[in-house]
Amino acid sequence: LTDRIDARIVLLCGSIVSGLATMAFGIFAHGFWSGTLIWSLAGLGFAGAYMPGLKALTDRLPAGDTSRAVTLYTSSFSVGVGLSFLVAQVVADRWGWRAAFYVTGIGPTAMVVACLLIEGRRPVPKSGRLLNFSPVFANREALGYILGYGAHCFELYGIRTWLVGFWTFVVAHQGGPSWMTPVLMSFCFAVISMPASILGNEAALKFGRHRAITVVMVASACVALVIGLNATAPAWALALLLMLYGLTVPADSGALTAGMSAAAVSEHRGATLALHSTVGFGLSAAGAWGTGVALDMAGGPMSANGWLLVFVVLAIGILLGPFALLWARKTKGSTEWKSGVSG
């Protein structure tokens, strides 16, 4: 859709739906079905805001390398996630869980105001069918980044979903300072994503995207395995390992999205972003579900073996990313790996 109309309009509509649905959850959610329906609307609103927002940004940037702007945009999302965790917990503790949704709904509402202040820009008229993704699937370079992003999201949302549960296990078995709460750990894990993503993109610019992303993914898998194998280590050691993991997990995010954006054909950039988002968040759900299944299979949330299997699943998931990049590179006949030129 953003290939045909100004992405700002889609962003505006998505932000309105997201903000209203988030607040409506706090007002009207009273059971499984009402909660599912309202939160599905919030998800639709978010989908209409996140990648259309990136399209609105890139449409307004001057010609040239946009990777730094793209990375700043995507890493800001992680900061927002971290702040929402912290603010929601503080508000819920003081005024109840419904109030947490009223407050967090302010964010998308503020984006509505920002959209109204952005100058409009009509895309070049495009022919062809709506929802035609065949040109995107034909673009193997972009598709490699999209599949790599899917592996990244599998790992990211797998650990984000279960980080609080893992730290609860750590505190129950090893103790720890009273201030080192699961919510604080989750907040710190999310906030350090921004500098990690920015540094990862800078490494990609210097050493080549495929090379830098592959190194980051392999390193992240190694850290995950170390955490899983040492799930009963002292709390301070696991806290340090989790913060290291909080650096490796998002370090490939900006480079993957910037690579996809750079590889996208301009007239199909909106469709490319849509597939990028669909694959990413589809595998995000798979990561959260898959790690939960692994945890149940290996003994549950109070079992060290359960958490070992969780981190093994995360490591396997992220290690699929380098294979996606290798497939795209071989298909394209790229010489990036040897030359170190950014892809």
pLDDT, averaged per 10 consecutive residues of the chain (343 residues), comes to 76 93 95 93 89 84 78 86 88 94 92 87 65 83 95 96 94 82 87 92 92 97 98 94 96 92 82 89 94 95 96 98 91 48 42
Final residue before a domain boundary, out of 122, 154, 189: 122
Ordered alpha helix ranges (H), the chain: 7-28, 32-47, 50-59, 67-95, 97-104, 106-117, 134-138, 140-174, 182-191, 193-207, 209-229, 235-248, 253-263, 269-297, 304-332, 336-339
In a domain, 7, yes or no: yes
Phi/psi-derived region of residue 256, left when phi > 0, alpha when psi is between -120 and 50, beta in every other case = alpha
Predicted pLDDT of residue 86: 87
Which CATH number fits the domain that encloses residue 320? 1.20.1250.20
CA distance linking residue 48 with residue 39, whole number of Å: 14
Segments forming the whole domain that contains residue 166? 136-336
In a domain, 155, yes or no: yes
Predicted pLDDT of residue 125: 60
In a domain, 173, yes or no: yes
**Number of structural domains, the chain?**
2
Residues 112 and 142 in one domain: no
Residues 55 and 159 in one domain: no
Residues 158 and 277 in one domain: yes
Residues 219 and 140 in one domain: yes
Predicted pLDDT of residue 222: 98
CA distance linking residue 261 with residue 136, whole number of Å: 12
Residues 15 and 39 in one domain: yes
Final residue before a domain boundary, out of 100, 122, 144: 122
In a domain, 214, yes or no: yes
Cβ atoms of 281 and 153 closer than 8 Å: yes
Predicted pLDDT of residue 136: 87
In a domain, 109, yes or no: yes
Predicted pLDDT of residue 42: 93
Residues 73 and 177 in one domain: no
In a domain, 342, yes or no: no
Using alpha carbons, select from 223, 181, 203, 194 the residue that is nearest to residue 314: 223
Residues 113 and 202 in one domain: no
Residues 90 and 231 in one domain: no
Predicted pLDDT of residue 187: 87
